[in-house]
A and B are shown apart, each in its own frame.
Chain A
Amino acid sequence: MSIRESSHEIRMTTNATTNMTAEAPAAPLLEIRGLGKRFPGVVALDDVSLDIRAGEVHALVGQNGAGKSTVINILSGMLQADAGTIRLDGVPVAIRDPQHALALGIAIVYQELSLLPNLTVAQNLALGREPSWRGLLDIGAMNARARMALGRLGLEIAPGTPVSRLSLAERQMIEIAKALASNPRVLVLDEPTAPLGQREAEQLFAAVRRLRAQGVAIVYVSHRFAEVLALCDVATILRNGRKVTTTSLAGWSEARLTDAMVGAQAERYVASARTAGAVALAARDLRFGHRVRGVSLEARRGEILALTGMLGSGQNEIARMMGGDLRADAGTIMRGDRRLRLGGPSDAVAAGVALLTEERKHEGILPNRSLRENIAVASLGDRGGPAGFVRAASERAEVRRVMSDFGVVAASPEVPIRTLSGGNQQKALIARWDLADADVFILIEPTRGVDVGARADIYRRLDALARGGKAVVIVSSDLPEVLTLVDRILVVRDGVIAAETTPAAVDEEKLNLMIQGAAAA
């Protein structure tokens, strides 16, 4: 409850500044009209319009897949819109590529860090625009420029420090400094506080306010509503690729934002019909650097368990340790009575534990191999004939069987898997592990990059697996997914399990608050 109050106080103070800036409603610096973008099978953006003004912090709010990243990617020139116009200072512009965006004065700070750890802060800031004197690097000018950029954000970091020595939060700030180096008029911040703790986030807010005062137009994307309310003047809410509304945030609460974002949700599927059985996999006091600091959990047969949390809270590392991909610094993983010693994923697979990561393209599929080989790869040994030959007929039959079991749609099992849609690839990967007779399924972001139709299909398959007596663990930051799919929710915060709940006991807003707990407290 104190969360609410504190955020309320912050809001009161920001409303004052909002009013001040709102006194003179200037013409919009960036005018976006009727923006549309389609991908095969998905409408990512449909007729979205928004105005961004100088000296304003404009929040972009929406669930995963609502279209926020598509807007950002179009602004950065990474994607080209199918429909709509963008005007900068009243002049229509077609943003060709990231360089063009920079030249126009639009700078983006992405979620993934784009700094080179092997270079110093000053070198990173100078890259591509190195000051030189008669062909030699003008180190004095380079450092001075860096000091100025850092000073603008109120940072005290020596320009000669290698980036590899900086903390995540410091790197995030350098990232912003780098974006500022080109003197942009529009600065887009994509989840800038995700890796930051409370104090560092405050530092960042101060910097953002300073930039606003300097007349920069700021687009701010965040899942943390408390900070959106504290920092932003205006918000545009997106849902399923469409704009819900653009509104001044005066008088808004987190609850109201959540409602607007989620909308009238589709019917809630309650997972009451599944009953949890024996413990299939148990972790005790897992530790991994400072990312995971003592986590214990149990995955039971017949249930779907979710790990959820803010980006980078440690939930991915927990899953990867249980799947053998990361080696835990400390802690034990028990499979029944047996302690697993995981030297690598092969050991986990041998113990019946399967891991599907969020990086399907790089860590899941064998892109150029056929669908059949992709499904069969984890269970090759089960169909070994004499002299190590693969029993081809039985393989074809079994692959066909699991393909139909898991609804994998393809012209033939022989097409390269890279030609399939994301949803079909994901179903094929789940089928891979079912064919390998895995007992525990660990899936990180199981529906990332999957279209809506396939999504429901994947939920049904996971449900069927659990009902069939398998233990299913998902790591997901997609709250509707967590709430519809699972039986039990573990909220991971700062590398520990902060809370345990069930979908029946919470709604999306409440879960969101539990996830954000530390940040808002």
Chain B
Amino acid sequence: MMALIANRQPVDGRKGSGLGFLSRNPMLVAAILLLIVFAATAPVFGTPGNAVNIMRQLASVLVLGLAMAIVVLVGGIDLSVGSVVLASASIAGIALAEGLHPALAMLAGIGIGAAIGAINAVMIEGLRLSPVIVTLGTMIAVRGFSLVMLGRYNSWVDIKGPLFSDLARRTVVGLPLDALVAFLLSLLVWLVLSRTMLGRAWHAVGDAPVAARLAGLRVRRLRAGAYVACGALAGVAGVLVAARTGLISPSIGQGLEFFAIAVVALGAGGLPAGRVRVSQVLVGTLILMATFNYMTIRGVPGTWQTTVTGLLLLGAMVAGRLLQRDASADVATGEAVADDYAGMSRTGAGLTRGALALATVLLAAVFVFVNPRFATWPNLVALVEQNATLAIVAVGAMIGIVSRSVDISPGSVMVLGAVAAALAAKAGVPVPLSLLAGILACLAVYAANGAIVGRLGLDPLIVTLAAWIWARGLAVSLTGATTVAFDMGFVTFMNTPLAFGFTISAPLVALTFLAGWIIMRRSPLGIRIHAVGGDPRMLRQAGVGEGRLRLVILMVMGCFTAAGMLVMLGRLGAAAPTAGFGLELDAIVAVILGGASFRGGTGRLRDTAVGVLFLAILNNGLSGLQMGDAQFFLIKGTIILAALALRALAQRYFSRRGAAP
């Protein structure tokens, strides 16, 4: 009897009044309230003409949101969609320039998207690497690839062709054609998700991957399919962007991955695996685009868009969590299954470690061979100086990965801190106090993240993802996207060679590693860092509060980021809002290449040091070849992905018997 009564409750809710419907769709309520507030405070906002305006801007973001929704649904994430948009638009533009039929050009754009999706799928599902790392890698490699392609056409390609101009200019019953395409795609995706076997299987895989596997579903294949579908849809978005802008330039697609994630999170109140709906993507897109539109009407500079996106994303996740605290844990950001030395035989672990060291030596040998200046003392000094920031941040990243508090925000937070320091100095604040302001800015972001992670139990990865977006956005907004010079005295001090050509950066790096070693191996915190990464339940049994510990860990990581900020500010001599791009990937990759598991609990500082050395040699060697950003991103992204793939393969080969697949 009791079970029967308990069963009836949700059904009552379902059949309940409109109130019940609204309480189950809080984000829709938020969207409506937002629209009312916007219309009330800006009369232009509510006009039909403005509605069409919003429609015009929304098409590509909506399609990208759909793409992201599919991978989030199966428990993954794809950070490469912005770069895929650039790749798709470039390929479509180049195809047009080469005289192909516009329809073929569009197919080429969609096809390249699907192909990149397939690469992601193979790396993530085939090699069982973390989707965050893989798609950060493809984000960089694909941007490089696209820029190289565009470079052959002097970086500017005009879009001229019948179909493309139709998309941009035609309207059907007042609706822009590209918006109509986006809505039709939404309908299609909705049909696939809710009415087909594939959609059913994707829901099952996202909701409970282990149960889905035992129910006979081919989980990895299904998830791989989701990445390909995501890539293809991102390719469609690229075609829409190409049509809308009419001119392909290197800046296309930058930051679009932020919008895609935000759109899903705004609609769904988080990134819940197995429970994302197309209607939520529509709501999220509406919120984001209406907000952008309102900002434009109120005269807010466009540089604030990213900041607002990141803050909305954070707000949506916090609100979503507060509203449904009982809901089962979401965000399976697809931890790799067996990617650490602990799961390997001892010889296997030794060989894999040796392989990384060997790869590092080989890489150095290649650079020595192609560039005679590589193996010189001044270059060695430059290598250390260039990568000092990376080395410092990598120690923080190591702590984050071991404690399962993966942080992808250090690059952005560092830039925000530098901007805060530079702006303070510019406003006449004494240099030491300005630096302190910068340090405090870094720590404040980490404290906020730590409080949210600790209090609400949200995945640190998702919270720092929001900071990755808004901190960078805020840096851009505050400076108006310009570089702000810093006090010469400090810069000179940081760049004065102390001994053997090394500046203070080198001892600072050594000091950071020492600090990392003390924290990990010689402090009570170190034991807890390992414990919380291994299994937080054990910690609770031992009477340690997980929330507070997470806050402490993030604050410690914040200190490393702040130290990295000081070194970066000193080296650059200015706060550049675009600096540190990709630093988070470098730092995480250094740790993962060094053999730490993305699942947490394991990792050695010396292995991380080798990983940092590998990346340092790569960075220095490539920059020594005097290549442009495009080639640099392409080659670096590819080598990083290749190194990760090799490591994953080695691990699979050596993994101990008996570990369930």
Interface residues of A (CB under 8 A from B): 40-41, 98-99, 102, 114-119, 123, 126-130, 132, 135-137, 139, 164, 288-289, 291, 323, 325-327, 329, 344-346, 348-350, 355, 357, 362-369, 373, 376-378, 380-381, 384, 387-390, 392, 409-412, 414-416, 418-421, 423-424, 432, 436
User: Of B207, B214, B530, B544, which is within 8 A of A368 by CB?
Assistant: B207
Residues of chain B lying within 8 A (CB to CB) of residue A380: 197, 200-201
Residues of chain A lying within 8 A (CB to CB) of residue B218: 344, 346
> How far is the CB of B619 from the nearest CB of chain A, in Å?
31
For chain B residues 269-312, which have a beta carbon within 8 Å of chain A? 274-275
B531 contacts chain A at the CB level, 8 A cutoff: yes
Q: Can you list 10 A-B contacts with CB-CB less than 8 angstroms, sorted by A residue number? A: A116-B531, A117-B342, A123-B530, A127-B544, A348-B216, A365-B208, A366-B203, A368-B207, A390-B197, A411-B7
Closest to B402 in A: A118
The stretch of B232-240, B389-397, B493-501, B516-524 in contact with A is: B516-524
Residues of chain A lying within 8 A (CB to CB) of residue B531: 116, 119, 127
User: Of A40, A126, A432, which is within 8 A of B527 by CB?
Assistant: A126
Residues of chain B lying within 8 A (CB to CB) of residue A388: 196-198
Interface-central residue, A135, A326, A329, A344, by most chain B CB under 10 Å: A344
B657 touches A377 (CB 8 A): no
> How far is the CB of B190 from the nearest CB of chain A, in Å?
13
B7 touches A369 (CB 8 A): no
Residues of chain A lying within 8 A (CB to CB) of residue B328: 367-368, 418
A329 to B213, CA, bound (A): 20
For chain B residues 1-20, which have a beta carbon within 8 Å of chain A? 2-4, 6-11, 14
A436 to B533, CA, bound (A): 40
User: Of B7, B8, B215, B327, which is within 8 A of A378 by CB?
Assistant: B215
A400 to B274, CA, bound (A): 24
Closest to B11 in A: A411
B362 contacts chain A at the CB level, 8 A cutoff: no
For chain B residues 498-544, which have a beta carbon within 8 Å of chain A? 518, 521-524, 526-528, 530-531, 533-535, 537-544
B660 contacts chain A at the CB level, 8 A cutoff: yes
A128 touches B200 (CB 8 A): no
Contact with A along B636-661 (1 / 0, CB 8 A): 00000000000000000000011011
User: Of B216, B518, B522, B523, which is within 8 A of A350 by CB?
Assistant: B216
Known: A135-B523, A368-B275, A424-B3. A116 touches B535 (CB 8 A): yes
Known: A114-B538, A327-B661, A345-B213. A409 touches B342 (CB 8 A): no
B542 touches A128 (CB 8 A): yes
> How far is the CB of A218 from the nearest CB of chain B, in Å?
20
B601 contacts chain A at the CB level, 8 A cutoff: yes
B216 touches A288 (CB 8 A): no
Interface residues of B (CB under 8 A from A): 2-4, 6-11, 14, 195-198, 200-201, 203-204, 207-208, 210-218, 274-275, 327-328, 342, 518, 521-524, 526-528, 530-531, 533-535, 537-544, 601-602, 657-658, 660-661
For the complex of A and B, 9 pairs with smallest distance between CB atoms: A349-B216, A128-B542, A130-B524, A421-B3, A116-B534, A118-B601, A99-B543, A289-B658, A127-B542
Known: A289-B658, A362-B208, A377-B212. A127 touches B534 (CB 8 A): no
A376 to B544, CA, bound (A): 43
B211 touches A366 (CB 8 A): yes
User: Of A362, A389, A419, which is within 8 A of B6 by CB?
Assistant: A419
Residues of chain A lying within 8 A (CB to CB) of residue B539: 127-128
A119 touches B216 (CB 8 A): no
> How far is the CB of A385 from the nearest CB of chain B, in Å?
9
User: Of A164, A288, A345, which is within 8 A of B214 by CB?
Assistant: A345
A41 to B11, CA, bound (A): 21
B207 touches A366 (CB 8 A): yes
User: Of A119, A344, A368, which is within 8 A of B534 by CB?
Assistant: A119
> How far is the CB of A85 from the nearest CB of chain B, in Å?
25
Residues of chain B lying within 8 A (CB to CB) of residue A421: 3, 6
A117 to B2, CA, bound (A): 42
User: Of B207, B542, B544, B602, which is within 8 A of A369 by CB?
Assistant: B207
Other A-B pairs, 8, CB within 8 Å; known A127-B527, A377-B217: A117-B342, A119-B531, A128-B543, A128-B544, A288-B658, A344-B218, A366-B203, A376-B200
Residues of chain B lying within 8 A (CB to CB) of residue A384: 197
A463 to B197, CA, bound (A): 32
A380 to B205, CA, bound (A): 14
> How far is the CB of B350 from the nearest CB of chain A, in Å?
15
Residues of chain B lying within 8 A (CB to CB) of residue A366: 203-204, 207-208, 211-212, 215, 274
B196 touches A409 (CB 8 A): no
User: Of A129, A362, A381, A412, which is within 8 A of B211 by CB?
Assistant: A362
Residues of chain B lying within 8 A (CB to CB) of residue A350: 216
Main secondary structure of the interface of B (DSSP, over half): helix
User: Of A41, A119, A357, A424, which is within 8 A of B530 by CB?
Assistant: A119
A344 to B221, CA, bound (A): 12
A118 touches B3 (CB 8 A): no
A419 touches B275 (CB 8 A): no
Closest to A142 in B: B527
A436 touches B342 (CB 8 A): no
Known: A355-B214, A419-B7, A436-B216. A369 touches B204 (CB 8 A): yes
A380 to B327, CA, bound (A): 27
A123 touches B527 (CB 8 A): yes
A384 to B195, CA, bound (A): 10
> How far is the CB of B32 from the nearest CB of chain A, in Å?
26
> How far is the CB of B89 from the nearest CB of chain A, in Å?
30
Interface-central residue, B197, B208, B535, B544, by most chain A CB under 10 Å: B197
A432 touches B342 (CB 8 A): no
A390 touches B214 (CB 8 A): no
A289 to B656, CA, bound (A): 10
User: Of B4, B201, B538, B661, which is within 8 A of A409 by CB?
Assistant: B4
Residues of chain B lying within 8 A (CB to CB) of residue A327: 660-661
Residues of chain A lying within 8 A (CB to CB) of residue B533: 118
User: Of B201, B523, B530, which is within 8 A of A118 by CB?
Assistant: B530
B527 touches A377 (CB 8 A): no
> How far is the CB of B337 from the nearest CB of chain A, in Å?
13
Residues of chain B lying within 8 A (CB to CB) of residue A164: 342
User: Of A326, A362, A418, which is within 8 A of B660 by CB?
Assistant: A326
A41 to B6, CA, bound (A): 11
A325 touches B8 (CB 8 A): no
Residues of chain B lying within 8 A (CB to CB) of residue A99: 543
A345 to B214, CA, bound (A): 5
A415 touches B11 (CB 8 A): yes
A327 to B527, CA, bound (A): 35
A410 touches B522 (CB 8 A): no
Known: A116-B530, A388-B197, A411-B4. A432 touches B215 (CB 8 A): yes
A376 to B195, CA, bound (A): 13
A434 to B198, CA, bound (A): 22
> How far is the CB of A513 from the nearest CB of chain B, in Å?
31
A329 to B660, CA, bound (A): 11
Closest to A384 in B: B197
Closest to A288 in B: B658
A323 to B198, CA, bound (A): 24
B216 touches A346 (CB 8 A): yes
> How far is the CB of B9 from the nearest CB of chain A, in Å?
7
A137 touches B216 (CB 8 A): no
Closest to B328 in A: A367
A473 to B118, CA, bound (A): 41
B544 touches A118 (CB 8 A): no
> How far is the CB of A474 from the nearest CB of chain B, in Å?
16
Known: A117-B534, A325-B214, A368-B275. A377 touches B204 (CB 8 A): yes
Residues of chain B lying within 8 A (CB to CB) of residue A418: 328
Closest to A103 in B: B543
Interface-central residue, B11, B524, B533, B602, by most chain A CB under 10 Å: B524
User: Of B8, B327, B537, B661, which is within 8 A of A411 by CB?
Assistant: B8
A424 to B4, CA, bound (A): 10
Interface-central residue, B211, B518, B534, B539, by most chain A CB under 10 Å: B211
A10 to B198, CA, bound (A): 63
